[in-house]
Amino acid sequence: MMDINAMKKAFADAFGSQADGLCFAPGRVNLIGEHTDYNGGHVFPCALTFGIYGLIRRRNDRTMRFYSMNYPDAGVIESSLDGLQYDRAASWTNYPKGVIWAMQQKNIQIPSGFDFLIDGDIPSGAGLSSSAALEVLTGLAVRDTFGLSLSMIDLALLGQKTENDFCGLSSGIMDQFASAMGKKDSAIFLDTKKLAYSYVPLALRHAQIVITNSNVKHSLVSSAYNERRQQCAEALDRLKTRADIRELCDLKPSQFEAIKDVIGDPLITRRAKHAIYENDRTVRAVECLKKNDIKAFGQLMNASHISLRDDYETSCPQTDLLVEIAWSIPGVYGSRITGGGFGGCTVSIIDSDAIGEYEAKVDEQYEKETGKKAQIYVASVGDGAHRIE
């Protein structure tokens, strides 16, 4: 947990007064179901115990002031409630500003400005959804400060709108939903098409979730993420000429195989194949977990990585290496890249007795082959966003 007293002192130093409230929103890791959320499929994320904390105080004018303890050299960044637009020079504040803009687009009016300080322990650019956590945190803090009638799912949807329409990333709903709706010691089985969800206890017996940060930072907006979404849209348009579907993940793998020739482009076909097969893997993986079949769950995680590497091409040599190290160790049930891709983290399910060997092999091999150090976190699964005080 952050040093809350240090945050309060920093708030007073930055803004000259005390904060009204303290909120928290977690990062997330997705166990399986990658790039299915914008294709109408299923995902299986869980909220983590690390995330972003925020202190807020309402003002009596139209000014918003932002300060991040993670980027102290940037100082206090000011903006107005009026005329909000994306500004690259505004750095991280585009996310909270975007949430206010998204509220305004939904005719949710904020009566005055506010001062907002954040501090977090999510590795930036690691694929653990620091941006989604910041969006949900902003929505929650502003909701509670101004007494707005918004549910946690509303806050997740506002965060997605911020990403899509303000910041320019064509993401799905998974990241914000996991941050808003997480539950301690459980993962969320979410049907992204219907927003129907259930909590599945993470009864991993003698195993644990291990996250490894490759320290290859990705910037999804400037990466091939939006291109992948467009390729899926092209595949969907062509498949619709042969099937009565609204989303790629409406198809089962056998149905896709019967009509995939209509796509007519090998690259676009591989993109569609990943989404459709990944959705099927996710549904089967959750059933395996419910039966306490961790071995089968891990095998589906491995198949997910191979598909992301070969069909969707969102892995990179460094994350491939981390996964291959994991696969070489007895006691590792499964390992895959997690998040949007093009860098970031891997997620593994590892027997508790094998974690030491995994850490040693990563320390030995990863820096030698890549010139980078990897950070390893044994994850704890926590609750979603909430007010602390």
Q: What is the mean pLDDT of the chain?
A: 95
Which element (helix H / strand E) includes 75? none
**pLDDT higher than 70, residue 75:** yes
When pLDDT is averaged across residues 128-132 and rounded to a whole number, the result is 89
Which two three-digit tokens encode residue 387? 């007010």
Give the position of tokens 């007064």: 17
**pLDDT higher than 90, residue 147:** yes
* DSSP character string of 140-180: HHHHHHHT----HHHHHHHHHHIIIIII-----SHHHHHHH
The answer to whether 136 and 25 have CB atoms below 8 angstroms apart is yes
Q: N- to C-terminal Cα distance for the chain?
A: 14
State the pLDDT at residue 31.
98
State the pLDDT at residue 163.
94
**pLDDT higher than 60, residue 180:** yes
The answer to whether 185 and 310 have CB atoms below 8 angstroms apart is no
Strand partners, 22: 55
Give the helix ranges, DSSP H, for the chain.
Answer: 4-15, 94-105, 130-146, 152-161, 174-181, 225-239, 253-259, 266-290, 294-310, 317-327, 355-370
Amino acid at 179: S
Q: pTM here?
A: 0.94
**How far from chain centre, in Å, is Cα 126?**
10
State the pLDDT at residue 341.
87
pLDDT band per the 50, 70, 90 thresholds, residue 171: confident
Cα distances (Å, whole numbers) of residue 241 to 172, 238, 262: 25, 6, 8
The answer to whether 342 and 316 have CB atoms below 8 angstroms apart is yes
| DSSP-derived secondary structure letter, 123 | P
Amino acid at 205: R
**pLDDT higher than 60, residue 205:** yes
When pLDDT is averaged across residues 159-180 and rounded to a whole number, the result is 94
Q: What is the pLDDT of residues 44-74, one digit of tens each?
A: 999 999 999 999 999 999 999 999 999 999 9
State the pLDDT at residue 220.
59
Q: What is the pLDDT of residues 206-229, one digit of tens each?
A: 999 999 999 998 665 556 888 999
**pLDDT higher than 80, residue 124:** no
**pLDDT higher than 80, residue 126:** no
Provide the 10 A C-beta neighbour count for residue 371.
8
When pLDDT is averaged across residues 367-387 and rounded to a whole number, the result is 95
State the pLDDT at residue 227.
93
Q: Kindly report the three-state secondary structure assignment for every residue of 333-350.
A: EEEEEECCCCCCEEEEEE
When pLDDT is averaged across residues 158-171 and rounded to a whole number, the result is 94
Annotated catalytic residue 175: yes
| DSSP-derived secondary structure letter, 183 | B
Longest dimension (CA), the chain: 66
State the pLDDT at residue 125.
66
Buried b (16+ CB within 10 A) or exposed e, 128-139: bbbbbbbbbbbb
When pLDDT is averaged across residues 224-249 and rounded to a whole number, the result is 96
Q: What is the pLDDT of residues 322-357, one digit of tens each?
A: 999 999 999 999 999 998 888 899 999 999 999 999
Which range among 24-28, 200-204, 380-384 shows the weakest confidence by mean pLDDT? 200-204
Instruction: Taking the CA atoms of 157, 174, 2 and 319 in sequence, report the sign of the dihedral they define.
Output: negative
Backbone angles phi, psi at 246, to 5 degrees: -110, -25
Of 175, 250, 280, 311, which residue is the catalytic one? 175
Ordered domains of the chain (ranges, CATH): 4-200 (3.30.230.10)
Distance (Å, whole) CA 353 – CA 357: 8
Provide the 10 A C-beta neighbour count for residue 86.
14
When pLDDT is averaged across residues 259-283 and rounded to a whole number, the result is 98
Q: What percent of the chain is modeled with pLDDT above 70?
A: 97
pLDDT band per the 50, 70, 90 thresholds, residue 122: confident
Residue 140 sits at the vertex; the CA angle it makes with 134 and 144, to the nearest 5 degrees, is 145
SS3 122: coil
**pLDDT higher than 80, residue 156:** yes
Q: What is the pLDDT of residues 311-323, one digit of tens each?
A: 999 999 999 999 9
Between 281 and 222, the higher pLDDT residue: 281
Which two three-digit tokens encode residue 77? 């960044």
When pLDDT is averaged across residues 290-305 and rounded to a whole number, the result is 97
